[in-house]
């Protein structure tokens, strides 16, 4: 499973970087800048081929990035009068070259979403099993078995779309509007959801938990599919294919009921009645193990549930003809781009917890999960990460494309006179420090999440 996540991560990164750098390459070719090398990865060159234009195409040993090397008049390979040198081209040419990388990330997102919608992707419908007391959802008197159809007058047939459409309403005085369909009565009803005092700054709850929605999930029988090594379950002698019948003499009929009982124990020893695959009943004692997740503690036994197939009545299949997929992918790319900028603003102002930042470990883990589920899910993940890469590269930080645009703007304001190389170098060092700090912080979040430090 770990190896699969690494492979999925490398495929994701390889596609993202290659597409990004190919944008720079094509723009440089269009502008007439000489491209000396196109590299996927850093470090020692493993594979190399030089084309008829003199550009060396390489695959390098460290697959954590890539670059396009252009002829520069401040290097030994170029001269001040060389028309192919990057610095000798107009500022607007260099702006186009710089912007082409992030633009290709957005293009990749558009293409990935188009393919995802054309192939089709099934997601659970936004069906509310019940609401949590003392939450905005409970205050809105949302009834059990209500399915969300629209959020703020936008179609929201799945929980994925509900979250996307609800997030911008956090902290606003204007209530979010929901159109609901009650599956029990068949009636449609509109409700207002007051989120003006809701905040995710503490990081202890997801949006769904904070709002108070408990999504419907099919009942999963309390049958053990797998017992993790060195877990309370393995110590207690639990094995796969056994069914947990009772906890402290209280009947258990679903995996959710089991999870709630275990969490309610707060780590106290539990008495369980278990039925083996042969129908033999046995009693065991087990002590759940605490695990820290962000700002809350959960209690685990170290067992995994069986997988069940969702009934089609509770799934929404997003599969469309090509022309409609093109329109939807453009809309989804724009929607997620705006949402990403909104989230950056919320992080800066402290309205969104820093634990929302994920590093390479988290990305690798999620890439593996999506790839195992299916191609359509992996394409959706790839599109989302590609948007994030495009946005991050446009941040005004030296070492990134956004920082290079700032340098070009300064050069324009100075009448075509660029900043001194010494000043550019100092700013690049500052940018490298900021990027490294962000990476360390993101990896720390991953480690805390994975190992509960």
Give the helix/strand (H/E) hosting 64: strand 56-70
Closest CA to 355 of 296, 314, 398, 299: 296
Q: What is the DSSP letter of 307?
A: P
Tokens 């909104």 found at: 342
Dihedral sign computed on CA atoms, order 163, 166, 168, 172: negative
Cβ neighbours around 23 below 10 Å, total:
25
Q: Transcribe 113-179 into DSSP letters.
A: HHHHHHH-EEEEB-EEEEE-TTSHHHHTTPPTTEEEEEETTEE--BHHHHHHHHGGGTT-SSPEEEE
103: CB partners within 8 A, 6+ apart: 23, 390
318 is catalytic: no
Residues 280 and 262 sit within 8 Å (Cβ to Cβ): no
Give the helix/strand (H/E) hosting 382: helix 375-393
* 241: three-class secondary structure by DSSP: coil
Q: What is the DSSP letter of 184?
A: T
Catalytic residue numbers read: 21
């Amino acid at each position: 499973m770990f190896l699969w996540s690494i492979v999925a991560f490398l495929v994701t990164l390889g596609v993202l970087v290659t597409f990004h750098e190919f944008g720079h390459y094509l723009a440089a070719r269009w502008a007439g800048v000489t491209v000396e090398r196109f590299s996927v990865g850093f470090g020692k060159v493993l594979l190399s081929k030089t084309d008829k234009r003199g550009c060396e195409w390489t695959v390098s040993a460290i697959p954590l990035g890539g670059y396009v090397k252009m002829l520069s008049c401040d290097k030994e390979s170029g001269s001040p009068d060389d028309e192919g040198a990057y610095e000798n081209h107009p500022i607007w040419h260099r702006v186009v070259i710089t912007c082409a990388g992030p633009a290709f990330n957005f293009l990749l997102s558009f293409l990935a979403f188009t393919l995802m919608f054309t192939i089709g992707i099934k997601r659970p419908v936004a069906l509310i099993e019940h609401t949590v007391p003392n939450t905005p959802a409970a205050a809105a008197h949302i009834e059990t078995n209500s399915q969300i159809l629209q959020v703020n007058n936008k179609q929201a047939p799945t929980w994925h779309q509900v979250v996307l459409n609800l997030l911008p309403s956090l902290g606003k005085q204007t209530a979010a509007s929901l159109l609901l369909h009650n599956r029990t009565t068949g009636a449609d009803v509109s409700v207002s959801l007051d989120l003006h005092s809701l905040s995710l700054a503490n990081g202890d709850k997801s949006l769904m938990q904070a709002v108070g929605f408990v999504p419907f999930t099919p009942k999963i029988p309390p049958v053990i599919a797998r017992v993790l090594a060195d877990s309370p379950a393995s110590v207690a002698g639990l094995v796969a294919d056994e069914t947990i019948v009772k906890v402290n003499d209280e009947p258990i009929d679903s995996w959710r009921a089991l999870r709630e009982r275990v969490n309610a124990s707060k780590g106290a020893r539990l008495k369980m009645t278990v039925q083996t695959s042969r129908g033999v009943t046995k009693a065991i004692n087990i002590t759940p193990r605490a695990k820290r997740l962000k700002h809350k503690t959960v209690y685990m036994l170290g067992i995994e549930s069986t997988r069940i197939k969702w009934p089609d009545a509770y799934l929404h299949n997003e599969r469309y003809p090509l022309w409609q997929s093109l329109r939807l992918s453009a809309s989804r790319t724009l929607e997620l781009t705006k949402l990403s900028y909104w989230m950056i603003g919320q992080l800066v102002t402290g309205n969104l917890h820093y634990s929302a930042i994920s590093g390479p470990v988290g990305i690798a883990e999620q890439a593996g999960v999506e790839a195992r589920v299916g191609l359509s899910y992996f394409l959706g993940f790839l599109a989302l990460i590609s948007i994030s890469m495009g946005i991050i590269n446009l941040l005004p930080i030296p070492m990134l494309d956004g920082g290079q645009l700032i340098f070009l703007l300064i050069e324009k304001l100075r009448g075509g006179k660029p900043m001194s190389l010494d000043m550019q170098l100092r700013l690049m060092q500052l940018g490298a420090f900021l990027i490294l700090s962000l990476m360390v912080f993101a990896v720390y979040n991953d480690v805390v999440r994975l190992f509960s430090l």
